[in-house]
Amino acid sequence: MTITPLMPVYPRSPVRPVRGDGAYLYGEEGERYLDFASGIAVNLLGHNHPHLTKAIQDQAATLMHVSNMYGSPQGEHLAQRIIDNSFADTVFFTNSGAEAVECAIKTARRYHHAKGAPDRKKLITFSSAFHGRTMATISAAGSEKMTDGFEPVLPGFETVEFDNLDAAEAAIDNATAGFLVEPVQGEGGIRPASQEFMQGLRELCDANGLMLVLDEVQCGYGRTGSYFAYEQYGIEPDILASAKGIGGGFPLGACLATEEAASGMVIGTHGSTYGGGPLAMAAGEAVLDVILEDGFFDHVKAMGDRLRQALEQMLPNHDHLFEGVRGRGLMLGIKMKVDSKPFVPYLRSKGLLMVAAADNVVRVLPPLNIEESHIKEFIELLSSAARDYEVPEA
């Protein structure tokens, strides 16, 4: 037998973390890493945050799982807090981002079904998008890399160029249910949509009775310096998928919707065995306790500005490698002039954890509660690695 015990779908790196503490991870031999990957934008309070850890421990010892057959005081409380701080009137809790996007897709289709337009099934999606790895979400993103060999893909999605409002408008027809878009693309290379594009999509939805569905699984939950990224575009969606940071490391996702958008989601139309269980709700509450404290988002913005300034100063010293920095808040991307894929493992070997993205970008996704000292250490590690890095022959 040569197959590995873990189904070999990931190119796993030699980093084998066994312990975490704040912005640091420790490997099996005790080696220390500065974690500016945060489990891909998940550990937004860093590792072992005492408030989050205690909330999970206490809840585990009280009540871990029941069923959505029963009333959920824990779910109602967290949903209400999310509603109080967002556009939403109602929330469906999931265990992952892909499930949150699935629920968002179903909600958008079901809206038109409930409104007597059952032919409106098609969501217009965008190039370089990432929405998860389920059949519907790989069909939505449409990239051949993800669908190859998994056909038939699901119908009901049409992909047009990201940030191109004319292309989005031209794709609207009688079968269109709405748009599904990441306000800041993550896997696609940390690419923020323009203001005109997001506002334009909102206007197209209003004019044509369509659903604006945002995938904020990566860019939401404080990552870009506001609770959700849409706030910075001066618009509100009809439906939004959240996950990653929402549980701070505990598996949790959520599909948020307005009352109008959720008008088709009646009893029996959707469900999840684990979704919204007491343990996940405790984690979600603990994360909100911290990020809704006065000044937290200001801290994210301030650290994001510092980090960006420091990078803008340092990157030109290695201009054979780096083109520049882009993104918002603490969701930044360093665009490289060379292949970013081998650079990321090199950084890991130097004790710095980051994530690659498409378009030769290296993602900078630190915990949101980092301090200036972490930024200083990051810049030192990155700059010394850049100095020593030998670009592999193509």
What's the Cα-to-Cα distance from 54 to each of 57, 242, 285, 339, rounded to whole Å? 5, 23, 12, 42
With beta carbons less than 8 A apart as the criterion, state whether 186 and 218 touch: yes
Cα 177 from Cα 113, distance rounded (Å) = 10
182 binds ligand PLP (CB under 6 A): yes
Measured from the CB atom, the residue of 191 and 244 that comes closer to ligand PLP is 244
Q: Does 101 bind ligand PLP (CB under 6 A)?
A: yes
Q: How many Cβ atoms sit within 10 Å of the Cβ of residue 257?
A: 26
Of 192, 174, 171, 172, residue with least CA distance to 183: 192
For residue 215, give every residue at least 6 positions away whose Cβ sits within 8 Å of its Cβ, in sequence order, or none: 101, 104, 129, 131, 180, 181, 182, 240, 241
Angle of helix 278-291 versus helix 50-60 axis, rounded to 10: 160
Min dist CB 157 to ligand PLP, Å, is: 14
Annotated binding-site residue? 373: no
**Shortest-Cβ-distance residue relative to ligand PLP:** 97
Nearest residue to 229 (alpha-carbon basis) of 71, 41, 34, 67: 41
The torsion defined by the Cα of 303, 232, 183 and 377, in degrees rounded to 10, comes to 0
What is the Cα–Cα distance from 307 to 364, expressed in whole angstroms? 9
List 20, 178, 186, 237, residue binding ligand PLP (CB under 6 A)? 186
Q: Which is nearer to ligand PLP, 358 or 386 (CB)?
A: 358
Nearer to ligand PLP, 270 or 306 (CB): 270
Query: Which residues in 244-303 contact ligand PLP (CB under 6 A)?
Result: 244
Nearer to ligand PLP, 74 or 94 (CB): 94
- Proportion of the chain in helix, strand, coil states, percent, rounded to 5: 35, 20, 45
The distance of closest approach from Cβ of residue 244 to ligand PLP in the complex, given in angstroms and rounded to an integer, is: 6
Give the interface size with ligand PLP as a residue count (CB under 6 A). Answer: 15
Residue 211 pairs in a beta bridge with: 178
Residue 162, annotated ligand binder? no
Pick the stretch among 18-26, 110-118, 210-218, 380-388 that binds ligand PLP (CB under 6 A): 210-218
Q: Give the residue with the Cβ less far from ligand PLP, 59 or 94.
A: 94
273 labelled ligand-binding: yes
- Two structure tokens written together for 279: 């343990």
Q: How far is the CB of 217 from ligand PLP (least distance, A)?
A: 4
Pair type for strands 352-353 and 32-35:
parallel
Please provide the distance, in angstroms rounded to a whole number, between the alpha carbons at the two ends of the chain: 33
**131 is an interface residue for ligand PLP by CB under 6 A:** yes
Interface residue with ligand PLP among 97, 178, 237, 278 (CB under 6 A) is 97
> Do 160 and 171 touch, CB atoms closer than 8 A?
yes
Could you tell me if 160 and 168 are in contact, meaning their C-beta atoms sit under 8 angstroms apart? yes
Contact pattern for ligand PLP over residues 214 through 233, marking x by CB under 6 A: -x-xx---------------
| 92 marked as binding residue | no
Residue of 38, 59, 74, 96 interacting with ligand PLP (CB under 6 A): 96
Stretch that binds ligand PLP, among 95-103, 165-173, 266-274, 356-364 (CB under 6 A): 95-103
Report whether 323 belongs to an annotated binding site.
Answer: no
Q: Which of 20, 75, 132, 142 binds ligand PLP (CB under 6 A)?
A: 132
- Minimum CB–partner distance for residue 229 and ligand PLP (Å): 11
Q: Does 98 bind ligand PLP (CB under 6 A)?
A: yes
Contact flags string 138-177 toward ligand PLP, x per CB under 6 A: ----------------------------------------
H helices, E strands: number in the chain = 12, 17
Q: Which of 24, 92, 111, 130 binds ligand PLP (CB under 6 A)?
A: 130
Q: Which is nearer to ligand PLP, 361 or 386 (CB)?
A: 361
CA-based R_g, the chain, Å: 21
| Nearest distance, CB of residue 96 and ligand PLP, angstroms | 4
- Long-range contacts, 15-21 (Cβ 8 Å, 24+): 15/348, 15/353, 19/47, 20/46, 20/47, 20/48, 21/46, 21/47, 21/48
Q: Residues interacting with ligand PLP, by CB under 6 A?
A: 96-98, 101, 130-132, 182, 186-187, 215, 217-218, 243-244
Residue ranges at the known binding site for pyridoxal 5'-phosphate: 97-98, 130, 215-218, 273
